[in-house]
Amino acid sequence: MTSRSSRYQSHHDSLFRAAFSRPEALRTEATALLDPGLVRSLDLSRAEVLQTRFVDESLGASESDATFRVPHHGRPTFFYVLLEHQRRNDALMPWRLLRYMTNVWMTLLGREPAVTRLPMLVPMVLSNVPGGWTGPRRLRDVLDVAPDEHALVERLMPDFEFVLDDLALQTTDALYRRDGPPFTRFALWMLAASSNAERVLDEASRWTDVAAHLRGEAPDDHRRALLYLRRTVTMSDKQWKKIRKLFWMGPETREVTPEDIAYAGLEEERAAARAKGLEEGRAAGQAQGLQKGLQKGLQQGLEAQRALVKDLLVARFGRVPKTVAVRLKKADGHTLRRCAKRIITAKRASDVFA
């Protein structure tokens, strides 16, 4: 059985992958976290997303990643973005990043085996650990070397420091004002706030215009966002009603229509609406099918009666006049039964319709 935490992590993964599956999402992180000089040297308008995922399969439930390729002074530079959606610090995060970075380089060398120099690769970590990240950020800090010996051996060991986006410490206004796509900024706020229902409720009004924009311009993203909140934030019905008003139809709207319920993708309510619709559709379909079946059966019965009366007319009179044949095609069941009786005593074929 899937645990509650695993389901939450799956929702985090889905939201992250949706938000960072587009190249322009990198701009949101780069402009907020990197040195402005480096950002200016990057051609973020030509960023590309690599489709390969590099996280360890055994940790796939607690991590998500995205890799971007960006032109930098005429050469490709890569950004590896890792979402750490565990609720605790990872003491070996730099080492794990080194593994993933090595996998990225190995993949790139496999595609271009003639390359003799590794491209620049910038590691970035998105963390929503409650209270902020307190774990190590440099590789040297996870190596078992005495502090007073670092200077002696630093030239002998690899080292790097990853870029950290500490979402738990980011304010709503800071996330709202970031550069980049509305959905990416909205997703970052939800990842940061989802562990605290009161924060979601207090800050939701700041994002009503973004939610309205997504509903009009990117309905799939709007649905993903609402579904994520519904699945990860524990709220009472009254609290959830407030969120629905703010993010579905704006703060002044007071009605939630069935169309809005289905549109938002909220599974419980949508399932009930779907079940009701299926039941009504099934009943209507059965009634319609029965009606069509009856009509088809009656028509086939009439055709059989007309064929039988025609056969009797041919047997009795040898041929059927055109005028009689025309009337025969239009005759109803009552008329056909009357004609069948008259065939016995009629002197001419036309007498059966007298």
- For residue 240 the two structure tokens come to 């959830």
The CA dihedral of 289, 294, 299, 304, to the nearest 10 degrees, is 120
How far apart CA 250 and CA 6 sit, in angstroms, is 32
Helix (H, G, I), strand (E, B) or coil at 254: coil
Expressed in percent and rounded to 5, the helix, strand and coil fractions of the chain are 60, 10, 25
Question: Coil, strand or helix: which one is 279?
Answer: helix
Which pLDDT belongs to residue 77?
94
- In the chain, the amino acid numbered 55 is V
What pLDDT sits at residue 125?
94
Vertex 172: Cα angle to 166 and 177 (nearest 5): 95
Q: How is residue 170 written in tokens?
A: 């980011």
200, 189 Cβ separation under 8 angstroms? no
CA distance 245 to 253: 6
**What is the Cα–Cα distance from 352 to 354, expressed in whole angstroms?**
6
Q: What is the rounded distance in angstroms from the CA atom of residue 334 to the CA atom of residue 336?
A: 6
Name, in order, each residue with C-beta under 8 angstroms of 59's C-beta and a sequence gap of 6 or more.
Answer: 96
CB contact set of 276 (below 8 Å; sequence gap of 6+): none
Query: Whole-angstrom Cα distance, residue 155 to residue 120?
Result: 20
Q: What is the pLDDT of residues 188-218, one digit of tens each?
A: 999 888 888 899 999 999 999 999 999 889 9
| Of 36, 67, 29, 318, the residue nearest 174 (C-alpha) | 29
Query: pLDDT tens per residue, the chain (354 residues)?
Result: 444 444 545 777 788 888 888 899 999 999 999 999 999 999 999 999 987 778 766 554 556 889 999 999 999 999 999 987 677 889 999 999 999 999 999 999 988 888 899 999 999 999 988 889 999 999 999 999 888 888 888 888 889 999 999 998 999 999 999 998 999 999 999 988 888 889 999 999 999 999 999 988 998 899 888 888 888 888 888 888 888 888 875 554 444 444 444 444 444 444 555 555 666 666 666 667 667 766 776 777 778 778 877 877 777 777 778 888 888 888 887 887 787 777 777 778 778 777
pLDDT at 243: 87
- The number of helices, as runs of H, and strands, as runs of E, in the chain is 15, 5
Closest CA to 249 of 218, 221, 211, 219: 211
In angstroms, the CA 47 to CA 86 distance is 28
Residue-level pLDDT at 249: 58
0.85 exceeded by the pTM?
Answer: no
